[in-house]
Amino acid sequence: MPEVLIRGGTIVDEQGERRGDVLVSGVGIVAVDSTIDAPAGAAVVDAGGCIVAPGLVDLHTHLREPGAEVAETVETGCRAASLGGYTAVVAMPNTEPAIDNPSIARDVLELGRNALAQVAVAAAITVGRQGVHLTPMAELAALGIHLFTDDGAGVQDASLMRQALEYAGDLGIVLAQHCQDDSLAAGGHMHEGAWSSRLGIAGQPALAEESMLARDLALVRLTRSPMHFLHLSTAGSVELVRRAKAEGLPVTAEVTPHHLSLTHAEVASYDSAFKVNPPLREEADVEALRVGLEQGVIDAVATDHAPHAPEKKQVPFDEAPPGMLGLETALAVVSSAMSGRLGWVDIFAACSWRPARIGRLDPASGGRQGGPVAPGAAANLVVFDPTAEWSVDPSRLASRSRNTPYAGRQLTGKVRHTLLEGEPVVIDGEAQR
Amino acid sequence: MNDRHLLSIADLGREGIEDVMRTADSFREVAGRSIPRVPALRGKTVATLFFEASTRTRLSFETAAKRLSADVMSFAASSSSLEKGESLRDTVETIDAMGVDAMVVRHRSSGVPAQVTAWTSACVINAGDGQHEHPTQALLDCYTIREALAQRRGTEDSQNGADFAGLRIGIVGDVKHSRVARSNVLAFSALGAEVVLVAPRTLMPPSLDGWPVKATADLDSVIPDLDVVYLLRIQAERAGQVLLPNLDEYHERYGLTRERSNRLAAGALVMHPGPMIRGVEIAPEVADLPSSLVTRQVRNGVFIRSAVLFHLLGAADSGEAIDA
């Protein structure tokens, strides 16, 4: 592979923000300086007016393979990821069959080997995500799997959840919860509130999320095992995590770009692109989530990229599956939602090195994600133009599905280039393979 | 009407509601002729797409369309390919391809008529969607109230929407799951009536933010003040769920019993969108009192639906067609 010189950008990593050129050779960064002359034969990548940062890391991606290849594959999902500036994704285990045993986990990891982003895997907590029997967590952990979740559903049984936490604690792995009490949420297709009442759609109350979160925080207090909370969506959840962290409980939390940017009012169109779990909430929730991210109560942004084939979404709202695309729009949406609250270092912290750490993909854990942008570090990098304006055209997305909630909207900020292990996989907004 | 479709009463506003009621007056007159038919929509095709069975509403729309000389095409889910897994979109596009001018859509899911507008160039009329709205029901209810108030004054001449100013209307029962209630709240309040919702909290929408209504769980406390009691249908399957202990208790607390009807103000009107369950929502003998407008609601449904079709399909190019 030829050397690559990323020229003229502003470097953003955990060390801060500074002007600089970055020279990549092989799979690593070999030089960072205020100006570097292009070595003979090096490819020069223009980063003028752009931010050069460690590649983004998504803790929450539904790649849909195996089982729903009509909606997404590891290949297409990772292409979408690289176009969104991601150099690593954690594949969720709610595939068909579920990632609940080492052989399926190995299959998915194998599919990811040649993809345009590093593919890590989260495995299920219970066999078949049925909430009854624990998966062979030790065997799965031996494959390097660090996050375990029944995402798509919460673990309903409190006693089982306690046992899972105790067992996981011994293994040094982290359980991640999709907080949703089914007895409160059942039959709900959107947030319960003013809009659900007006639109005549059964709602899920905020309490359905908060009650399971409160239960799990009590279980963490009891077991002292660490937990990660997926896609928190309510002001009450932010408050619960704030108090848990103040108390010193070993917990982390993520928020999605859509919960930072959209409210339940979108559902007034009955467009099933806006159907998602947890549902889009109220203005006050969006505000609380932004504050939570700003204050570090929420550690990371995760997309919950959830592709669904068009014909699955072109049905009545209450029959449509929940979920929306996220990878290709995330950074633009998050940087706009957080503008004026977070500087670039904190935005990339939430999208790159903090999630890398939660997923144990960071250098300190033996991984290659999350920076820094320094000689000797892995060349997993994104070049982001924060001022580029573009309109989201669903038909031009790399995902195999079209269910973006931002169709036709004008976004500010676009990923220009992405380097994966030194390879320019996205150049000028085009995937290279 | 402000739009090509009728999805919600909010599409009409006060003026739109009054327009439709005025046009319905003309069709009431047409109904009295020996040949109750006008050529207003000759050459137009109206398709009824009933994904949820409702013989009464479908017949009402089809009769209304035929009285305007429109061709009528009827699609029922049971006879369709939906059961074979065809998507809603494909079904709509297939019917659209046959060349229809209006689609009258009934579906058990809220929002389907709104979704359908994206897949057809025809006018879309909501004939009841899930728990969302049933705008033509609300229009015929307004029309029926207007007519009854005019008769009470001993005149055929209506003051149109003005009759509703200060009118106190109680909507009683399963508001939470009722599309009729949602449309009627919008229609009655647009015309200036005061609306009070009467239901146990389990059958009330979780939030009434932005609803121009008062709400109470106590029917007896409001009964003497009401000019109109509008009883909603209670679905038997709700009883025995957690929402409602049983139908006897419902009748006890929210049924229009003989005792309650005696406490109604003189001349108060009793309405029900049908089908009625006597002995639950209403005592059998009360349903047959002269104050009950239930059968008149059905008759007026045809006039109102003719008026809606005429406004959406015919008004532009055949303003004089009613007199032909």
ipTM: 0.92
Choosing among B87, B202, B237, which should be mutated to test the A contact, i.e. which has the most A CBs within 10 A?
Answer: B87
Cβ contact, residue pair B182, A200, below 8 Å: yes
* CA–CA dist A260, A285 (Å, integer): 9
Rg (chain A; Cα; Å): 20
Q: How many CB atoms lie within 10 A of CB A279?
A: 27
- The two most distant CA atoms of chain B are separated, in Å, by 57
Nearest-by-Cβ selection for A317 from B111, B133, B182: B111
Cβ contact, residue pair A316, B115, below 8 Å: yes
Cβ contact, residue pair B89, A199, below 8 Å: no
Q: Which pLDDT score is estimated for B3? A: 74
Which position has the token pair 């919960």?
A: A259
CA distance, residue A186 to nearest chain B CA (Å): 13
Give tens-digit pLDDT for A288-324: 999 999 999 999 999 999 999 998 999 999 999 999 9
* The token pair that represents A321 in the structure block: 């599956």
Choosing among A199, A274, A308, A402, which should be mutated to test the B contact, i.e. which has the most B CBs within 10 A?
Answer: A199
pLDDT at B2 over 50: no
Q: Which pLDDT score is estimated for B107? A: 95
Interface of B with A (CB under 8 A): 87-89, 107, 109-112, 114-115, 129-133, 177, 179, 182, 205-211
* CA–CA dist A39, A36 (Å, integer): 9
CATH of domain B135-294: 3.40.50.1370
One-letter identity of residue A8: G
Q: Which of A240-254, B19-33, B53-67, B287-301: highest mean pLDDT?
A: A240-254
* CA–CA dist A92, A370 (Å, integer): 20
Cβ contact, residue pair B87, A315, below 8 Å: yes
H-run or E-run covering A196: helix A194-199
Catalytic residue among A13, A304, A362, A385: A304
Query: Count of A–B CB contacts within 8 Å?
Result: 71
Q: Which pLDDT score is estimated for B121? A: 95
Query: A-chain residues within 8 Å CB-CB of B209?
Result: 193-194, 197
Q: How many CB atoms lie within 10 A of CB A372?
A: 18
Give tens-digit pLDDT for A243-262: 999 999 999 999 999 999 99
H-run or E-run covering A161: helix A158-171
Length of chain A: 433
Q: Which pLDDT score is estimated for B85? A: 67
Query: Checking phi first, is residue A248 left (phi over 0); if not, alpha (psi -120 to 50) or beta?
Result: left
Q: What angle do CA B14, B19, B22 make, to 5 degrees?
A: 125
**Under CATH, to which class is B9-132+298-323 assigned?**
alpha beta
pLDDT over 90 percentage in chain B: 67
In the residue annotation, A304 being an active-site residue is answered as yes
* CA–CA dist A301, A283 (Å, integer): 19
Q: Which pLDDT score is estimated for A148? A: 98
> Quick one: B301 exposed, middle or buried, by C-beta within 10 A (0-12, 13-18, 19+)?
buried
CA distance, residue B241 to nearest chain A CA (Å): 14
**Range A209-224 average pLDDT:** 98
* The token pair that represents A243 in the structure block: 């108090």
* CA–CA dist A313, B10 (Å, integer): 27
Nearest Cα residue in chain B from A204: B206
Residue A242, SS3 per DSSP: helix
Which of A7-21, A192-206, A313-327, B29-43 shows the lowest mean pLDDT across its residues? Answer: B29-43
Interface of A with B (CB under 8 A): 192-194, 196-203, 205, 269-271, 311, 314-319
* CA–CA dist A367, A55 (Å, integer): 13
* CA–CA dist A28, B230 (Å, integer): 74
Residue A26, SS3 per DSSP: coil
3-state SS, one letter per residue, for B274-307: CCCCECCCECHHHHCCCCECHHHHHHHHHHHHHH
Q: Which pLDDT score is estimated for B198? A: 98
> Quick one: A393 exposed, middle or buried, by C-beta within 10 A (0-12, 13-18, 19+)?
exposed
* CA–CA dist A33, A35 (Å, integer): 5
Length of chain B: 324
Specify the domain boundaries for CATH 3.40.50.1370 within chain B.
Answer: 9-132+298-323, 135-294
Cβ contact, residue pair B114, A270, below 8 Å: yes
The dihedral built from the CA positions of residue A389, A391, A392 and A395, taken in this order, carries a sign that is: negative
Q: What is the mean pLDDT of chain A?
A: 97
What are the φ and ψ backbone dihedral angles of B89, each rounded to 5 degrees? Answer: -60, -45
Domains belonging to chain A, first-starting first, are 4-52+375-431 (2.30.40.10), 54-365 (3.20.20.140)
- Which of A70, A24, A81 lies closest to A373 in space, CA to CA? A24
Nearest-by-Cβ selection for B109 from A205, A269, A318: A318
